[in-house]
Structure 1
Amino acid sequence: MLTAALIAIVAVLISNASPLGVVLALVFGACGFMVPAAVVRNLKGRRQAALNAQLVETLQMISNGLRSGFAFTQAVELAAGQIASPMKDELESFLRDGRLGQAAEDSLKALAERTGSLDVEMIVTTILVQRTTGGNLSEILDNVAETIRERERLKGEIRALTASQRFSGLILSIYPAFLAAVFFLIAPSVMKVLVTEEVGRILLAVAIGLQLIGAWTIRRILTLDV
């Protein structure tokens, strides 16, 4: 938010508060607000995707450890020694909290909060309920792993079914820029108006802003949660 405000102020100062400056302030201010959040969201999403991809394997390791007679914490330590990052880092943080005297329930809740993953939160809730009501934790973890595996299969089917729509969205996003480049080659004298004239620059800035909003809207529509 602060970055967006600074970019908008700089754009206005550079252009002496002309109409073009106001439009540029709005466009670049919107970009300054959206781009950092999009980058952070992308990095967070990639890490969560990597964690979720390791969940089934991790649950199977813990379940096998429990079947072998290990306690839950020992089974987690066994899994942490065999799994790769980023899951390894999260399991080691959980174990470190336990060594420092934190209760297992609190360590599990901290794990779910740290990852921000709905699947991890579901697993933690399942384990906490089992610790309260009892039951075969190994079998419960196997059932959770099967549920997660089925969800991943459904996500794959959804990606396949929406592939054409996502491709259409990509074409709609890049088509205006491609068309503008073609017109610049065919009729440069006409297209120069968008750069040399005040009104043309305003229209160009508005068009770019609307194009960014349209691309973002298409992406949001095609993002489905399972």
Structure 2
Amino acid sequence: MSVETAVALAALLAVGILFYGIYRVMAGDIDVESRLDQYASRRPRGGREGATGEAGPSAIANSLEKRVQGSDWATGLQAQLSKANIKMTVGEFLIFQVVAVFVGVVVGAIAGGVILALVFAVVGFFVPKFYVKRAMSKRQQMFQNQLGDTITMMANSLRSGYSLLQSMELVSREAPNPTADEFQRVVREVGLGFSAEQALANLVTRIQSEDLDLMVTAINVQSEVGGNLAQILETIGMTIRERVRIKGEVKVLTAQGTMSGYVISFLPVGIALAIYMINRPYIEGVLSGKWLVIPICAGLMIVSGYFTMMKMIEIEV
């Protein structure tokens, strides 16, 4: 057995032990509770069996959720999951992230040894976060594209005699997703005792759209000083539709530059991984000794070039 294979197996074993340790720590609370139930008569037998039967992934996720609850990063992560409409708790997401790292280590160790295992472990760590951010961005973009028609629907319903809450209920029934889901949540919050102003403010927090903020501000101002809300919303809707059209044209014109940035940035990394799998001693020589400065400088230049190109094609509308 070579040294690289031994180190890869050791890394794989370490990750496996880490995952098992997390399982034992998170399941420890349930084990203690089940042992105490043997001497306590406060709970029926059926409830005790239900408690012991929960020792699994869901129980680990719930215990992990309690341990991280209240921290700033856990609150931010939960907000991101909510914005992306991912039905997953923070504990479940962390378990999924650990599994992704474990799978990355296994695949990397099988494919090419220690270095590739570390690379795949890092990729496995960031893939779930990238997926959440991608889903959140996609959902916000879809909502933004539908916002002009949504405002027009609300304006027409107000003209026909509907109240503001009734017009939002109409949007929650007739509009496509994700607009329907978000307005259903607004209507539900109003039904639970929130004011319409607070429910719409929560909507702006979830979507983070300047155009939506403009609509909500117009509704709040109209509720205080009065005016023709239908006419105001119709004007805002026309402005938003025109802005969406211009953004679409800009995106088409800058698509080539965006793709060029992706290719120029990730092609060297892909070629390096391919060479490592084909001729491992060559890459190991570059990554050791005085030659290590070359890949470090190359990585810094790739990162700076990527952000420079993205900044060049960024156009505010």
TM-score by length of 1: 0.72
Q: Does the CA-based 8 Å contact 2:139-2:178 persist in structure 1?
A: yes
Q: Does the CA-based 8 Å contact 1:112-1:120 persist in structure 2?
A: yes
Identity %: 33
State the Cα deviation string for residues 194-221 of structure 1 (Å, max 9, x = none).
2356527845763674366246514641
Q: Does the CA-based 8 Å contact 2:204-2:212 persist in structure 1?
A: yes
Is residue 2:291 matched to residue 1:224?
no
CA shift in 2, pair 1:109/1:167, >3 Å: closer
* Rounded Cα–Cα distance in structure 2 between residues aligned with 1:142 and 1:173: 44
* Rounded Cα–Cα distance in structure 2 between residues aligned with 1:198 and 1:182: 15
Q: Secondary structure at the match of 2:175?
A: coil
Is residue 2:156 matched to residue 1:64?
yes
Is residue 2:139 matched to residue 1:50?
no
Letter in 2 for 1:136: N
Q: Does the CA-based 8 Å contact 1:194-1:204 persist in structure 2?
A: no
Letter in 2 for 1:213: V
State the Cα deviation string for residues 153-188 of structure 1 (Å, max 9, x = none).
22122123323322332342244357658988xxx8
Equivalent of 1:41, from 102, 114, 133? 133
> 1:89: which partner in 2?
181
CA shift in 2, pair 1:180/1:198, >3 Å: closer
Q: Secondary structure at the match of 1:217?
A: helix
Letter in 2 for 1:194: I
> 2:252: which partner in 1?
160
Structure 1 runs, 4 residues or longer, greater than 6 Å off? 27-34, 181-184
Equivalent of 1:123, from 191, 205, 215? 215
RMSD of equivalent CA atoms: 4.0
Letter in 2 for 1:50: M
Is residue 2:283 matched to residue 1:194?
yes
Letter in 2 for 1:91: F
> 1:213: which partner in 2?
303
* Rounded Cα–Cα distance in structure 2 between residues aligned with 1:170 and 1:195: 26
Q: Does the CA-based 8 Å contact 1:119-1:148 persist in structure 2?
A: yes
* Rounded Cα–Cα distance in structure 2 between residues aligned with 1:41 and 1:182: 28
Q: How does 1:75-114 map to 2 (within 5 A)?
A: 75-114=167-206
Q: Secondary structure at the match of 1:69?
A: coil
Q: Secondary structure at the match of 1:81?
A: helix
> 1:11: which partner in 2?
none
Q: Does the CA-based 8 Å contact 2:261-2:306 persist in structure 1?
A: no
Aligned residues: 207
CA shift in 2, pair 1:113/1:181, >3 Å: closer
Letter in 2 for 1:140: I
* CA deviation after TM superposition for structure 1 residue 90, in Å: 1.2
Q: Secondary structure at the match of 1:160?
A: helix
Q: Secondary structure at the match of 1:85?
A: coil
Unmatched 5+ residue regions in structure 1? 8-20
Equivalent of 2:236, from 144, 163, 166? 144
Letter in 2 for 1:49: Q
> 1:12: which partner in 2?
none
* Rounded Cα–Cα distance in structure 2 between residues aligned with 1:103 and 1:198: 60
CA shift in 2, pair 1:207/1:40, >3 Å: farther
* Rounded Cα–Cα distance in structure 1 between residues aligned with 2:219 and 2:235: 12
State the Cα deviation string for residues 91-125 of structure 1 (Å, max 9, x = none).
11111122222221122212211222222212111
- Pick which of 174-183 and 105-114 moved more: 174-183
